[in-house]
Amino acid sequence: MNYLAPSLLAADFGQLKEAIANIEEAGAQFVHIDVMDGSFVPSISFGMPVIRSLRPYTKMIFDVHLMIEDPERYIDEFARCGADYIVVHAEACKHLDRTIAHIKDCKVKAGVALNPATSLDVLTYVLPQLDMVLLMSVNPGFGGQKYIPYVTQKVMELKKQIEERQLDVHIQVDGGINLNNVDEVLAAGANVIVAGTAVFSGDINQNVKAFLAKM
């Protein structure tokens, strides 16, 4: 099954509650929440208090993407805030296996994100432990960037590995995805699509429905 995960990074920060209501009403299943620390990536976004305050207003899946250094320091608190998935960057974890186990111990689904140029090899031993792999299709830190074409091949390679190993792992792709290229990403094997600017620019309800029609 395919899922749409609108990214709150592209929403109006003064109307996040309304933005969540809009995408949920239109049929989105996930909401993608980018947490940035100004260190692992240049920008600073939002953190635990915002997630905690939004959680009571929706039953959508909270997909929390930690673009932060040493994310294991905050796993417990993000779990308590209501995250359904906690996704950490392989590049930011000193002990990736331990961090994944920590997420699982909190009864939350675990994901690992890879920057565009990071090899899939880092997943070899931990892939069976994961619920989702997030492949970044832009260099993380800012919204509105263009999709990096070689990520399509990377999605195909990951999909092949998952099938060969008979695993049940979502493939999420984030960055520069719009209605013109989402077909390519889905065909490559992704099944969770993150879209920010393409959802929150213009008519949110109409944009969500247009994505879902392709999925």
Distances (CA, A) of 44 to 39, 41, 95, 140: 8, 8, 24, 12
Instruction: Give the distance between the most distant pair of CA atoms in the chain.
Output: 45
Angstrom distance (rounded) from CA 138 to CA 173: 10
What order of strands is seen across the sheet that includes strand 30-36? 3-6, 192-195, 170-174, 132-136, 109-114, 85-89, 61-67, 30-36
> Does residue 174 have an active-site annotation?
yes
Catalytic residue among 34, 37, 63, 131: 34
Residues 3, 185: Cα–Cα separation, whole Å: 12
Give the whole-angstrom CA distance, residue 28 versus residue 3. Answer: 7
Q: Are 207 and 199 in contact (CB under 8 A)?
A: yes
Q: Would you say 65 and 87 are in contact if contact means Cβ atoms under 8 Å apart? A: yes
Q: Which of 37, 63, 131, 174 is catalytic?
A: 174
**Active centre residues (catalytic):** 34, 174
